[in-house]
């Protein structure tokens, strides 16, 4: 294994150096577009919170699974992934976006920096979102020249050019950048992923949380909302008009799963099993239990020896009694349906697929359940009410597909996290 | 600023529109709402269950059984297209190999009287060479499934299934076509999405025993599907022409096309044994009904109650009717372009100002369906140089609707009228393969055609 990494390391460095020199030769190929830096406002208006910009890189990296993987040393099983990273998370002190050194910095910091899941993207309704994507290439797979894309899954009224489907439009090659534009007009829980060779790139980890907060959050203090009154600082899942989707704390929970045979085959440049894909790591936000309740960022040493933040999103849910917890649940695994259950705290489903559950005559169609089944590409907004619960008590959010409470062959892991009632 | 190459377009929208606006109106008016679903419209059907071979896009040929209203076995069976309240008669003849045993048909949601044939567990069955007759009078419009009620673990997997569409006796008030006798179910176009899958091991075992004395011994568990189908075809065959001679036993395609502002009715049928999250890019759909039961508000039945979804859950045996709409609303920029020199066009009568800039007005343009608050707004980003991009076959070379742009030689070409294309597919992405070959499987494209592009 060491020998094979060493050989690939050489290829990787050569590929990287080539890409960087190419980037320097054509400075404009790697860039971030953000009109707010130039004062351009496309849709000015009092109701427009503004322009939000982000710069994602797409490439490869390593993550750590939760089982006690022993191959001569202690530690979790490392798994090769494709994924995204956000430049905001790169070490501070990098060059400005218009600095000639910016493309090289992007390539250097972006190489092997993939996160699982992809960085969470949160915007406000009416925002104009400029999301730039740079393909830094897959350093461990110098034989590949895959483009990448961003698909904002569920985004209504996207033009094909910004929908991220490679067949329908364009996708970006290695060493270059493509900027996407979205006018976020509908609040809700969405998700995003790379749509290039989707069965492969999504199995490999190019999936993440994305949600839009409603404009109702920005109401002035005092107006009545149904039987309640809006108070500055109150947060809602939707523009409900009646305050019924108010929450005190929100958590994105993305179900996913990995087939280590597929990932290892990819790492070792072997044919990929598609029809034979069988996931064995079942995850919430890219981690299996008990890593799901670790509030810290998980790190993994990449094959070049650098310690990289690999899994940033904890799934630990905490709230005091008498609070309302909003879970923004989505499923982006590529092989199966999953059921999430709670013990002791019923889930009130208030939204599906980024839309408030309400009939055409204005009646709320919310329902309470102890289990929620979602296939890939479905989302649900769920409220947990901690009224009357005892501080210090722990509840579980876990898959009731009980065979998936495992990290590969290791029991008491997998798709599970804790809901801790605090003081 | 190289986001657009003047002079490399075939025609600017204004010129095209000037030529075609009159014709477009006529074409739109002349199009029939039923055109996109190929069906047999009758009240009496003679079906035959027979063997044949279906093609999968990786080059394979798979032994299958199917119903046909003619002489060639087909997968899925013919879409039976009937009217509510009128008696339907289906006579089924068994032309399967004798080893396959009896065959039958059950019709979900219907009160069926069966005559003739031999007794079976679920219904009367047709013995090899024999026939049986089913009679029912559908009481509710909607989309339904019919399939074999004989040894269904094997016979349904082999392909003995199809869709039953029950239409209201008259369209709802105010429209020319509706899924139900309810104004909220009016539609301009409709498409069938009958979802199924194939485990080739089952088909191989049946093929090997087809010439034997029977009964067949075929293991149907564990089940590991390798091919995933829409209307009997796996991508890219889903997008080939309906009725093509290249796929004689798979006559139905799946290539929805519509204009901005139209209402597209989806009839989604889970025909075999797996659940599929059917994700439709472009916009949400509003669920009208499940299993032919309209979902209406309890407090005002003139309004719908079904959820608005971006992924329709399709489960075995269930049907979902949903309405999809697409407009350019809230795109944030002008979908016909903003350059007054090459992309001049009007929205509610307002041209783009001579020097460029925004000419916003409320609402839509009645002909182009442009969302006028965005009229004249430039696409907000600079697109990369062509040399750093990978191009999709459906990319027209331009981000604008109905516009062609420059592409390197050999690129594009699948979308000559430059519509906006959206992938509609199973979001169990593993099912976007044909066995181990990506891409393929349960996938097709919706094409939003520019208003001046005629759709059959």
Question: Which pLDDT belongs to residue A98?
Answer: 87
pLDDT above 70 coverage of chain B, percent: 92
- Pairwise CB contact (< 8 Å): A376 & B428: yes
What six digits make up the tokens of A63? 């993550």
Does the pLDDT value for residue B411 go beyond 90?
yes
Does the pLDDT value for residue A42 go beyond 80?
no
Q: How far is CA B414 from CA A172, B206, B310, B445, in A?
A: 20, 38, 25, 11
Neighbours of A320 (CB within 10 A): 13
Question: Which pLDDT belongs to residue A409?
Answer: 86
Query: How far is the C-alpha of B347 from the C-alpha of B328, rounded, in Å?
Result: 12
Kindly report, residue by residue over B325-357, the tens digit of the pLDDT: 999 899 999 999 999 999 999 999 999 999 999
Question: Which pLDDT belongs to residue B366?
Answer: 93
Query: How far is the C-alpha of A403 from the C-alpha of A400, rounded, in Å?
Result: 8
Alpha helix positions (H), A26-125:
102-110
The pLDDT of B29-49, averaged and rounded, is 77
Q: How far is B332 from chain A (nearest CA, A)?
A: 6
Does the pLDDT value for residue B295 go beyond 80?
yes
Residue of B nearest to A202 (CA): B429
Query: How far is the C-alpha of B372 from the C-alpha of B364, rounded, in Å?
Result: 6
Q: For residue A253, how far is the Cα from the chain centroid?
A: 9
Question: Which pLDDT belongs to residue A330?
Answer: 98
Question: Which pLDDT belongs to residue A4?
Answer: 38
Which is it for strands B257-258 and B443-448: parallel, antiparallel or unpaired?
Answer: parallel
The pLDDT of B284-302, averaged and rounded, is 98
Q: Which of A168, A336, A351 to mutate to test the interface with B (most CBs of B within 10 A)?
A: A168
Kindly report, residue by residue over A313-331, the tens digit of the pLDDT: 999 999 999 999 999 999 9
The pLDDT of B151-176, averaged and rounded, is 97
Neighbours of B129 (CB within 10 A): 10
Q: How many helices (H) and strands (E) does chain A have?
A: 4, 29
Residue of B nearest to A184 (CA): B330
Query: How far is the C-alpha of B75 from the C-alpha of B87, rounded, in Å?
Result: 25
B369-390: string of b/e by CB count within 10 Å (b at 16+)?
bbbbbbbbbbbbbebbebebbb
Query: What average pLDDT does the structure give for chain A?
Result: 90
Q: Which of A51, A161, A331 to mutate to test the interface with B (most CBs of B within 10 A)?
A: A161
Query: Which residues, in sequence order, are CB contacts of B301 under 8 Å at separation 6+?
Result: none
Question: Which pLDDT belongs to residue A75?
Answer: 67
Mapping DSSP to helix (H, G, I), strand (E, B) and coil, where does residue A328 land?
A: strand
Does the pLDDT value for residue B23 go beyond 50?
no
Mapping DSSP to helix (H, G, I), strand (E, B) and coil, where does residue A161 land?
A: helix
CB contact at 8 A, B452 and B402: yes
| Residue B297 touches chain A, beta carbons under 8 Å | yes
Q: What is the ipTM of this complex?
A: 0.92
pLDDT confidence bin for A131, thresholds 50/70/90: very high
Listed by number, the residues of chain A in 99-158 with a beta carbon closer than 8 Å to a beta carbon of chain B are 128, 130, 147, 153-154, 156-158
Query: How far is the C-alpha of B383 from the C-alpha of B396, rounded, in Å?
Result: 14
Question: Which pLDDT belongs to residue A381?
Answer: 98
Question: Which pLDDT belongs to residue A11?
Answer: 40
Helix (H) / strand (E) containing B214: none
Sequence length of chain B is: 456
What six digits make up the tokens of A201? 């790139």
pLDDT confidence bin for B154, thresholds 50/70/90: very high
- Pairwise CB contact (< 8 Å): B423 & A363: no
Cis status, amide bond into A73, omega within 30 of 0: no
| Residue B214 touches chain A, beta carbons under 8 Å | no
Max CA distance (Å), chain B:
82
Kindly report, residue by residue over A379-412, the tens digit of the pLDDT: 999 999 999 999 999 999 999 999 999 999 888 8
Kindly report, residue by residue over A153-203, the tens digit of the pLDDT: 999 977 999 999 999 999 999 999 999 999 999 999 999 999 999 999 999
A128-160: string of b/e by CB count within 10 Å (b at 16+)?
bbbbbbbbbbbbbbbeeebbbbbbbbbbbbbbb
Query: How far is the C-alpha of A155 from the C-alpha of A185, rounded, in Å?
Result: 9
Neighbours of A306 (CB within 10 A): 12
The pLDDT of A18-46, averaged and rounded, is 62
Query: How far is the C-alpha of A197 from the C-alpha of A270, rounded, in Å?
Result: 16
| Residue B335 touches chain A, beta carbons under 8 Å | yes
Question: Which pLDDT belongs to residue B308?
Answer: 98
Does the pLDDT value for residue A7 go beyond 80?
no
pLDDT above 70 coverage of chain A, percent: 88
Name every chain A residue with its beta carbon within 8 A of the beta carbon of B225. Answer: 275
CB contact at 8 A, B266 and B320: yes
pTM, 2 dp: 0.92
Residue with tokens 């040894």: B151
**DSSP per-residue string spanning A206-250:** -EEEEEEE-GGGGPPS--EETTEE--TT-EESS--SSSTTEESEE
Sequence length of chain A is: 423
What six digits make up the tokens of B435? 């066995």
Helix (H) / strand (E) containing A266: helix A260-267
Does the pLDDT value for residue B41 go beyond 50?
yes
Kindly report, residue by residue over A47-95, the tens digit of the pLDDT: 556 889 999 999 999 999 998 765 545 568 899 999 999 999 999 999 9
Name every chain A residue with its beta carbon within 8 A of the beta carbon of B283. Answer: 156-157
Residue A122: which of A191, A220, A22 has the closest Cα?
A191
Kindly report, residue by residue over B414-435, the tens digit of the pLDDT: 999 999 999 999 999 999 999 9
Does the pLDDT value for residue B201 go beyond 90?
yes
């Amino acid at each position: 294994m060491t020998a094979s990494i060493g050989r690939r390391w050489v290829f990787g460095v050569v590929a990287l150096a080539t890409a960087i020199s190419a980037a320097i030769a054509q400075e404009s190929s790697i860039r971030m577009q953000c009109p707010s830096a130039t004062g351009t406002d496309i849709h000015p208006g009092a109701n427009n919170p503004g322009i939000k910009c982000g710069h994602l890189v797409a490439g490869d990296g390593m993550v750590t699974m939760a089982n006690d993987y022993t191959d001569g040393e202690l530690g979790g099983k490392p798994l090769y992934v494709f994924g995204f990273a956000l430049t905001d998370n790169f070490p501070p002190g990098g060059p400005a976006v218009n600095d000639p050194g910016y493309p090289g910095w992007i390539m250097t910091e972006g190489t092997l920096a993939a996160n699982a899941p992809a960085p969470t993207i949160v915007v406000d309704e009416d925002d104009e979102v400029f999301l730039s994507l740079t393909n830094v290439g897959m350093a461990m797979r110098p034989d590949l020249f895959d483009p990448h894309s961003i698909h904002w899954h569920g985004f209504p009224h996207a033009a094909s050019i910004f929908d991220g489907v490679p067949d329908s439009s364009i996708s970006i090659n290695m060493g270059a950048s493509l900027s996407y534009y979205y006018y976020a007009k509908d609040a809700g829980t969405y998700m995003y992923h790379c749509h290039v060779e989707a069965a492969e790139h999504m199995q490999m980890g190019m999936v993440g949380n994305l949600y839009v907060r409603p404009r109702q959050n920005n109401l002035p203090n005092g107006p009545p909302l149904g039987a309640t009154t809006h108070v500055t600082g109150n947060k809602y899942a939707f523009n409900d008009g009646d305050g019924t989707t108010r929450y005190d704390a929100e958590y994105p929970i993305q179900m996913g799963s990995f087939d280590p045979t597929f990932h290892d085959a990819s790492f070792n440049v072997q044919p990929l099993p598609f029809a034979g894909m069988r996931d064995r790591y079942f995850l919430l936000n890219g981690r299996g239990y008990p890593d799901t309740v670790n509030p810290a960022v998980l790190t993994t040493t990449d094959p070049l020896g650098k310690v990289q933040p690999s899994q940033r999103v904890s799934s630990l849910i905490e709230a005091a009694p008498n609070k309302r917890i909003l879970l923004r649940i989505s499923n982006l695994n590529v092989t199966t349906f999953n059921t999430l259950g709670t013990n002791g705290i019923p889930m009130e489903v208030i939204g599906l697929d980024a839309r408030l559950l309400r009939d055409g005559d204005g009646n709320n169609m919310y329902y309470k359940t102890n289990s929620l089944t979602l296939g890939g590409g479905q989302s649900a907004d769920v409220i947990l009410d901690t009224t009357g619960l005892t501080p210090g008590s722990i509840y579980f959010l876990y898959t009731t597909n009980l065979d998936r409470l495992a990290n590969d062959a290791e029991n008491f892991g997998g798709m599970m996290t804790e809901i801790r009632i605090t003081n | 600023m190289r986001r657009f190459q003047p002079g490399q377009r075939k025609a600017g929208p204004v010129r095209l529109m000037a030529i075609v606006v009159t014709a477009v109106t006529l074409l739109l008016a002349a199009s029939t709402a039923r055109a996109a679903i190929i069906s047999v419209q009758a009240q009496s059907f003679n079906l035959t269950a027979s063997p044949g071979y279906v093609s999968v896009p990786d080059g394979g040929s798979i032994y299958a059984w199917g119903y046909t209203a003619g002489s060639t076995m087909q997968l899925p069976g013919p879409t039976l297209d009937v009217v509510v309240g009128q008696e339907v008669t289906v006579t089924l003849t068994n032309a399967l190999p004798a080893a396959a045993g009896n065959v039958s048909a059950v019709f979900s949601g219907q009160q069926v009287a069966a005559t003739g044939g031999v007794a079976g567990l679920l219904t009367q069955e047709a013995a090899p060479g024999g026939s049986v007759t089913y009679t029912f009078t559908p009481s509710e419009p909607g989309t339904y499934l019919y399939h074999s009620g004989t040894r269904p673990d094997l016979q349904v997997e082999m392909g003995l299934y199809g869709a039953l569409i029950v239409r209201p006796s008259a369209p709802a008030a105010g429209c020319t076509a509706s899924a139900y006798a309810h104004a909220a179910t009016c539609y301009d176009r409709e498409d069938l999405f009958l979802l199924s899958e194939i485990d080739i091991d089952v088909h191989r075992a049946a093929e090997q025993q087809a010439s034997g004395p029977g009964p067949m011994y075929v293991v149907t568990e564990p089940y590991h599907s390798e091919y995933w189908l829409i209307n009997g075809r796996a991508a890219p065959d889903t997008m080939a022409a309906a009725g093509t001679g290249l796929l004689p036993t798979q006559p139905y395609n799946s290539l929805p096309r519509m204009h901005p502002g139209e209402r597209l009715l989806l009839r989604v049928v889970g025909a075999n044994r797996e659940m599929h999250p059917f994700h439709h890019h472009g916009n949400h759909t509003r669920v009208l009904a499940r299993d032919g039961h309209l979902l209406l508000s309890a407090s005002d039945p003139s309004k719908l109650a079904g959820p608005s979804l971006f992924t329709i859950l399709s489960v075995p045996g269930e049907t979902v009717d949903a309405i999809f709409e697409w407009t350019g609303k809230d795109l944030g920029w002008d979908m016909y372009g903003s350059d007054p020199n090459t992309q001049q066009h009007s929205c509610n009568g307002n041209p783009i100002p001579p020097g460029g800039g925004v000419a916003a007005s409320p609402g839509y343009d009645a002909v182009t369906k442009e969302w006028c608050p965005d009229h004249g707004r430039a696409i907000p980003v600079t697109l990369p140089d062509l040399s750093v991009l990978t191009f999709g076959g459906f990319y027209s070379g331009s981000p604008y609707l109905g516009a062609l742009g420059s592409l390197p030689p050999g690129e594009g070409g699948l979308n000559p009228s430059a519509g906006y294309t959206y992938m509609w597919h199973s979001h169990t992405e593993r099912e976007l393969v044909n066995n181990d070959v990506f891409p393929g499987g349960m996938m097709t494209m919706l094409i939003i055609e520019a208003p001046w592009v005629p759709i059959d």
